[in-house]
Amino acid sequence: MSDDTEVSPGRGLPATAVPVSPTDPTTGGPGGERPARGRLGGLGGSGLVRNLGLVLALVILCVVGLVTTGERFGSTANLLTILRLAAVTGVISIGMTFVITGGGIDLSVGAVMALSSVWCTTLATQTMARDTHWIVMVGAALAVGAACGLISGLLVSYGKVVPFIATLAMLASARGLAEIISQRRTQIVDVPGFTDFFGAEVVGVPVIVIMFALVAAIGWVVFNRTTFGRRTLAVGGNPEAARLAGINVQRHTVLLYVQLGVLCGVAALMIISRTSTGTSTHGTLIELDVIAAVVIGGTLLAGGRGTIVGTVIGVLIFTTLTNVFTLNNRSTSEQALLKGVIIVAAVLLQQRFAARSKSP
Amino acid sequence: MSLRSAHKLGTGLVAGVAVLSLAACTGNTAADDGGTQAGGTSEAEQGSNDEAGDTVVIGFSAPAADHGWMASITESAREAADAYEDVDLRIAEGTNDVNLQISQVETFINDGVDAIVLLPFDGAAMTPVALQAMEAGIPVINVDREFEDPNAARVTVLGDNYGMGVSAGSYICSELGDNPDAVVAEIAGIDSLPLTQDRSQGFEDALGECGLDVDNRVPADFTPEGGERAASNLLQAAPQIDAVWNHDDDQGVGVLAAFENAGRDEFFMVGGAGSANAMRSIQADDSVLKATVVYPSTQGADGIMMARLLVQQKALGDLVEVEVPREVQLYAPVVTADNVEQFIDTAFES
């Protein structure tokens, strides 16, 4: 399984990488080529099947919701409640899909989101925003996210610190800094333009849901239709081959963490608009929800394979599950239990698919 | 006046199941009478308020039950609802994720429940969605952690953090009063929380009344581990102590363990919050713990009661007012071996 993923950069193989990997002695000789072909052949079919499986799971959940609670589940208002809940986790999950596909992981997303939310709601920032324009707050949130991503990225790619450790350190420090800046108090936002914009609705759809949709759409295009996306697959699949193919692996890795940081900033803006506050407790443990959604979506934790559509459906599965549980008045403990079962089932199914696509 | 009656009321609420025992709290002996009613879901003194009315659908949401007190919040709310056949309680319990808690309240609004009882993870962060509920015509009952905007709740049920400090301080004063050189130590909760600051302020003020002050103060974090760590440090810092106030009985488990390990018992300790564990220990008189000050974990239950009365357009039985009050602040009584019987039934298991 693991040697298989190393060799196969996935369906978005960079044009330059194709001639390199077979001729390159380090990637293994004839033995390494065979599974690669199997995977390439398999992905077209099983990728679709895998997403179909996810869609099926989501549909089943919706049917359960409709059967048990009827119109209460099916109403537009409830649908929007689900989407608003999904937006924050969803935006970060899109960014995480890139990082995990690129062979990394980022545990600091919740902490970075908290730090962004705090920095962007300090008295100083808010005063400046009132004096000039609320866009200042947006700039602050995104800049803080980008800076944190940059630091993590540099540590991972140039400092050679394992992503798990580098981002664990970022988790601790960002949360700590957020507590220092806010003195662990909840900072309330009182910038009318800001709350008006993010709290608004366009033809009945809340702005943060539109933002989620935009991020998902842009993420899909970048992932599947650009060099950046293909490079991400190559870097995650086999960094050495990617390097030989002329990709600046280190720089690309930094960029992956920076884009995730920026999206944490976006998530911070969303949570600020939802709560009208910035605090150091925002996003606690959100990294687990995010990673869970990415993994059940079908992105390989080892890197080299990923899917944006799968991630979006993964996020929707978890938020719909939460909603169905709330509507049915069931305890959150049962829900946590079921969540664990779903994650394991999804991963086992993925392995099945992977094995099947390899066998012919 | 209103504050006093709120306090009296509070005592009743602590002692028995709210409205039922309220009927007994008319006189000047509120606390005593409340006590005899403890555990009183008995049908004994039913007022017209307890007669079943139209079914009330109540949505309830609280933070994750990560310590005994918080677990008891949801549990006592459930029990209060079960006692009434006309209450349909929908519990979306247990989350420290404000994003999720907001969506729970949104779900209640979509559902058109009759009232929402909300103990927010973060009062300020839940204010916008509470306002939304109020605007949708659904009364919100705010429990324990206050919203940023008073318009976001119809009724607010609060504990008394400052009062906890005052109660603990006054008790220590009454025990040590004749000795101005006595060494008083304080093991606080999470120092940066406003509630901890309030408790410490009340403690300091009450001690000041009898010429005492806090000689040693260490913060912990509401967990047994943190209490053990803080207490060990305290014992190193203070070779001789006369009295200790520990803010929280959950962390008190660790604090007592540290005292035990060090073999120190030259002082007496006052606890906080009022766990059943601590009360049993006070009752048995088997440790340095001689008293605890209650921070009622039955606030969720009181919220349910208020919601029911509000929706059924009833008033609080023993008040002249025809409407349910805007705010109810519960009293923080001192529990000692003398009156522990009265409180142990409503204490929470840690």
pLDDT 10s digits, B169-197? 999 999 997 788 999 999 999 887 788 99
How many other C-beta atoms can be found within 10 angstroms of the C-beta atom of residue B126? 27
User: What tens digit of pLDDT does each residue of B47-71 get?
Assistant: 578 888 899 999 999 998 877 888 8
Identify the residue among A264, A332, A337 best suited for mutation to test binding to B, counting B beta carbons within 10 A and taking the highest: A332
How many other C-beta atoms can be found within 10 angstroms of the C-beta atom of residue A45? 12
- How far is C-alpha A88 from the chain's CA centre? 10
Q: Which distant-in-sequence residues (6+ apart) come within 8 Å of B257 by Cβ?
A: B224, B228
The verdict on a CB contact (< 8 Å) between B125 and A279 is yes
pLDDT of res. B47: 58
State the nearest Cα–Cα gap between A278 and chain B, in angstroms.
8
Please say whether the beta carbons of B108 and B92 come within 8 A. Answer: yes
Residue B7 has pLDDT above 60, yes or no: no
Q: Which distant-in-sequence residues (6+ apart) come within 8 Å of B110 by Cβ?
A: A72, A75, A77, A78, A81
Overall residue count recorded for chain A in this entry: 360
Please say whether the beta carbons of A238 and A303 come within 8 A. Answer: no
pLDDT of res. A184: 82
Tell me whether 0.95 is exceeded by the ipTM: no
pLDDT of res. A8: 41
B interface with A, Cβ–Cβ < 8 A, is: 64, 90-100, 102-104, 106-107, 109-111, 121-129, 148, 192-194
Confidence (pTM): 0.81
pLDDT of res. A315: 97
Residue B42 has pLDDT above 70, yes or no: no
The verdict on a CB contact (< 8 Å) between A276 and B106 is no
Residue B221 has pLDDT above 50, yes or no: yes
How many other C-beta atoms can be found within 10 angstroms of the C-beta atom of residue B292? 34
Give the mean model confidence (pLDDT) for residues B317-336. Answer: 92
A interface with B, Cβ–Cβ < 8 A, is: 72, 75, 77-78, 81-82, 84-85, 88-89, 179, 183-186, 188, 199, 271, 274-277, 279, 281-282, 284-286, 319, 322-323, 326-327, 329, 331-333
Q: Could you give the CA distance from residue B317 to residue B56 in angstroms, rounded to a whole number?
A: 19
Chain B residues within 8 A of A185 when measuring between CB atoms: 192, 194
Identify the residue among B78, B87, B96, B98 best suited for mutation to test binding to A, counting A beta carbons within 10 A and taking the highest: B98
The verdict on a CB contact (< 8 Å) between A284 and B128 is no
Choose between A256 and B31: higher pLDDT.
A256
User: What tens digit of pLDDT does each residue of A112-136 get?
Assistant: 999 999 999 999 999 999 999 999 9
Name the residue in chain B with its Cα closest to that of A283: B97
The verdict on a CB contact (< 8 Å) between B125 and A276 is yes
pLDDT of res. B179: 86
Q: Give the percent of chain B with pLDDT over 70.
A: 87
pLDDT of res. A48: 62
- Indicate the pLDDT class of residue B115, thresholds 50, 70 and 90: very high
Cα–Cα distances in Å, from B336 out to B84, B182, B285?
33, 21, 10
User: What tens digit of pLDDT does each residue of A223-236 get?
Assistant: 999 999 999 999 99
Q: Which of A72, A185, A322 sits opposite B100 (nearest CB)?
A: A322
State the nearest Cα–Cα gap between A223 and chain B, in angstroms.
28
Q: Could you give the CA distance from residue A127 to residue B25 in angstroms, rounded to a whole number?
A: 51
pLDDT of res. A50: 66
Range of weakest confidence among A214-218, B49-53, B120-124, B244-248: B49-53
- Indicate the pLDDT class of residue A327, thresholds 50, 70 and 90: confident
State the nearest Cα–Cα gap between B96 and chain A, in angstroms.
8
